[in-house]
Structure 1
Amino acid sequence: RGKAFFTSDLYSLGVTCLYLLTQVSPFDLFDPGEDAWIWRQYLANNAVSEETGKILDQLIENATNRRYQTAVEVLTQLNPEAASKLTIPQTITKAIKPAANPNLPPQSTHNWQCIHTLTGHKNLISSVAFSPNGEVIASGSDDKTIKLWQVQDGQEIVTLAGHTNSVHTVVFSPDGKILASSSHDKKIKFWRMKDGQEIRTLAGHGNSVYGLVFSPDGETVASSSWDKTIKLWRVKDGQEIRTFSGHSNLVYCVAFSPDGETLASSSWDRTIKIWRVKDGKLIRTLTGHTDCVRCVAFSPNGEFLASGSHDNTIKIWWVKDWQEILTIAGHSWYVDSIAFSPDGEVIASSSNQTIKIWRVKNGQELCNILGHTNSVYSVNFSPEGEFLASGSSDKTIKIWQNMMFV
Structure 2
Amino acid sequence: MMEEQQSLDREDVLSLITSQLRYYGYTEIAQTLTEESNIPMDQSASSELSDLLYSATYSSKDEDDDEEEEDEEEYDISGIDEISYSDDEIQSEDFPSKYLTDIDPETNYEPKQTPNYNLWYITTHRAAATCVRFKKDGKFAATGSADSSLKVLDTSKMKSHSDEDRPVIRTLYDHTGRVNDLSFHPNGLTLASCSDDRNIKLFDIATQGIKRSFRFLRDKYPVRSIDFHPTGEYMLAGTDHEAIRFWDVQNIKCYVPPNSQSNHRSSITKVRWNSNGGKFVSSSLDGSIKVWEGENGDCIQTIENAHSGQAVSSVEFSKSGAYVLSSGCDSTSKLWDANSGKCIITYEGAVHRNNHVQSTFLCEEDYVISSDESDNSIICWDSRTGKLLTRWTGHTGIVRYVAASPTESGFMSCGDDFRVRYWNLDPAQS
Inter-partner Cα distance in structure 2 for 1:210 and 1:405 = 37
Deviations 1:17-41 (A, max 9, x none): xxxxxxxxxxxxxxxxxxxxxxxxx
- The answer as to 2:118 corresponding to 1:107 is no
Partner of 1:165: 177
**Greater mean alpha carbon deviation, residues 391-400 or residues 167-176:** 167-176
Inter-partner Cα distance in structure 1 for 2:100 and 2:141 = 35
Inter-partner Cα distance in structure 2 for 1:243 and 1:100 = 41
* Partner SS for 2:136: coil
* Partner SS for 1:264: strand
Inter-partner Cα distance in structure 2 for 1:400 and 1:169 = 20
2:121 corresponds, among 108, 116, 124, to 116
Matches within 5 A, 1:263-342: 263-287=280-304, 288-290=306-308, 291-334=310-353, 336-342=357-363
- Shift of residue 99 of structure 1? 8.9
TM-score, with length taken from structure 2 = 0.68
Structure 1: gaps (5+ residues): 1-87
- Shift of residue 350 of structure 1? 2.1
Inter-partner Cα distance in structure 2 for 1:344 and 1:325 = 15
Inter-partner Cα distance in structure 1 for 2:351 and 2:226 = 27
Does structure 2 retain, via aligned residues, the 8 Å contact 1:300–1:343?
no
Does structure 2 retain, via aligned residues, the 8 Å contact 1:297–1:340?
no
TM-score, with length taken from structure 1 = 0.72
Partner of 1:148: 152
Deviations 1:302-356 (A, max 9, x none): 1100110011001111123221112111112346101222322222212321211
Does structure 2 retain, via aligned residues, the 8 Å contact 1:145–1:159?
yes
Matches within 5 A, 1:349-360: 349-352=370-373, 353-360=376-383
- Shift of residue 377 of structure 1? 0.8
* Partner SS for 2:224: strand
- Shift of residue 172 of structure 1? 1.0
1:220 corresponds, among 234, 241, 256, to 234
If each structure's strand is expressed as a fraction of its own residues, which one has the higher value? 1
Deviations 1:122-150 (A, max 9, x none): 11111011223323221110001111123
Aligned length: 314
- The answer as to 2:370 corresponding to 1:362 is no
Inter-partner Cα distance in structure 1 for 2:300 and 2:367 = 27
Structure 2: gaps (5+ residues): 1-95, 159-165
Partner of 2:137: 133
Inter-partner Cα distance in structure 2 for 1:392 and 1:142 = 10
Matches within 5 A, 1:196-275: 196=210, 198-203=213-218, 205-243=219-257, 245=260, 246-275=263-292
- Shift of residue 186 of structure 1? 0.6
Give every structure 1 segment of 4 or more consecutive aligned residues whose post-TM-superposition deviation is greater than 6 Å: 88-93, 98-102
Partner of 2:366: 345
With over 3 angstroms needed to count, the CA separation of the structure-2 counterparts of 1:164 and 1:98, relative to structure 1, is farther
- Shift of residue 401 of structure 1? 0.7
Partner of 2:200: 188
Which one has a bigger Cα radius of gyration?
1
With over 3 angstroms needed to count, the CA separation of the structure-2 counterparts of 1:142 and 1:165, relative to structure 1, is same
Partner of 2:103: 95
- Shift of residue 174 of structure 1? 2.4
Does structure 2 retain, via aligned residues, the 8 Å contact 1:122–1:395?
yes
**Greater mean alpha carbon deviation, residues 333-342 or residues 373-382:** 333-342
Does structure 2 retain, via aligned residues, the 8 Å contact 1:94–1:361?
no
User: How large is the Cα RMSD of the aligned pairs?
Assistant: 2.5
Inter-partner Cα distance in structure 2 for 1:99 and 1:392 = 37
With over 3 angstroms needed to count, the CA separation of the structure-2 counterparts of 1:89 and 1:209, relative to structure 1, is closer
* Partner SS for 2:364: coil
Inter-partner Cα distance in structure 2 for 1:378 and 1:114 = 16
With over 3 angstroms needed to count, the CA separation of the structure-2 counterparts of 1:89 and 1:298, relative to structure 1, is closer
